[in-house]
Amino acid sequence: MLSPTEKRYLLAVLLTTEEGSTRLKRVSNFLKVKMPSAKQILEDLANKKLVNYVRRGPISLTKKGMELAQKELERFNNLKEFLKKILFLDEEEAEKGAWEIFFNLEESIADRVVDFMNFLTHCPHITPICIKGFKEYLETGEFPTLCRLRR
């Protein structure tokens, strides 16, 4: 089992990879951490056979590392979509918020949010009325008529 930090690094390697590999500096800059910290985690991931990493060399994901990183990317994107489509945050806020939630919340809570977004995305019914009502509330500052009738 990987720690949230290790998952973050796998995702960072995936997102910073250009032409098949990335570099320590790119990963550390992306995650806003010091290079020695990034180096240590990447060495740990290399020991777990999830990344190909040698000192001062290119970094790439192994097949297993790529599978895990893509799974994390899918979960991250679902969370970001939740923040955009359900909470109506703009792209930048959703991106920042998704990083914070995805990697700092208890994993079971983050998983539940991701599961809820998957449910809303794949449910064949039209957008639930509560989401439409929430959007109206954000725009006007007042509860929609339907909400006021039940209070």
Q: Which domains does the chain have, with CATH numbers?
A: 4-61 (1.10.10.10), 68-140 (no CATH)
- Comparing CA positions, the residue from 68, 33, 34, 28 lying closest to residue 50 is 68
**From first to last of its 151 residues, what are the pLDDT tens digits of the chain?**
888 889 999 999 999 999 999 999 999 999 999 999 999 999 999 999 999 999 889 999 999 999 999 988 988 888 898 899 888 999 999 999 988 887 777 778 877 877 887 777 777 666 677 777 888 888 888 888 777 665 5
Distances (CA, A) of 6 to 10, 20, 72, 85, 151: 6, 20, 11, 28, 47
What pTM was estimated for this model as a whole? 0.78
Which tokens is 119 given? 């449910």
Neighbour tally for 66: CB within 10 Å: 17
